[in-house]
Structure 1
Amino acid sequence: MPVTVCQLQHITSLEQFYDEITYQLHLPAHFGRNLDALYDTLSSDVRGPYEIVWRNTEQSRHMLGADLYATLLEILQSVAEERGDVTLDIHH
């Protein structure tokens, strides 16, 4: 089965993050665009296998703020750890 790849780069806002991940992973219409919904949707509603590649994360951390960036990264890491068909590739 082919792997869907979601390429994130130059993320400067939470809205942009949601836009990119929604478009690239074809998130369902009921995705609520909040952090809880992000976890729920990525962990159960998105068909795998898929990979999230996030480039230029230092810029994203600066633009999003360290706390929000850390929360997003934690959500993505949790989903990757819980699902056997999701990988996360972070590039600083």
Structure 2
Amino acid sequence: MSKNDVVLDGLKIFSESDVHRYLADLLDFGPYYGSNLDALWDRLSTDVERPVKITWVHSELSKQRLGDRFDKIIQIFERTKKQDIDFSWDDKFDYVLE
């Protein structure tokens, strides 16, 4: 697992702010990260060194706990993944839900 292969553990996530806190720590977003969906898009789409893969374990539990906020986070993951494919970058963003 490289530096940019990160595991997000759904057992530790109870709110959207937990997701932001863990991702900010795991991906080193720095002190000025806005901890919201727009800031997440900004960081993932431009600032995170590629390749990067987020594996979200216990993601079903997170989906239950977060509801539509989970779906919005996954939309950002998917949008980032599509952007990297569209740009034909060799090193890309990816994610897996387990």
Which of the five TM-score ranges fits, normalised by the shorter chain? Answer: 0.7 to 0.9
Write out aligned runs for 1:1-92 (5 A).
2=2, 4-10=4-10, 11-65=13-67, 67-83=68-84, 84=89, 85-91=92-98
**Residue aligned with 2:49, SS:** coil
Normalised by the size of structure 2, how large is the TM-score?
0.82
Counterpart code for 2:6? C
State the distance in 2 between where 1:32 and 1:3 align: 23
TM superposition shift of 1:29: 2.5
Following the alignment from structure 1 to structure 2, what is the Cα–Cα distance between the partners of residues 55 and 22? 17
| Structure 1 length-normalised TM | 0.87
Shift, 1:77, TM fit: 1.0
SS at structure 1 position matched to 2:31: coil
Q: Give the aligned residue type for 1:89.
A: V
Structure 1 spans left out of the alignment, 5+ residues:
none
Give the aligned length.
89
How far off its partner does 1:3 sit?
Answer: 5.6
Give the unaligned 5+ runs of structure 2.
none
2-side partners of 1:55 and 1:32: how far apart?
A: 24
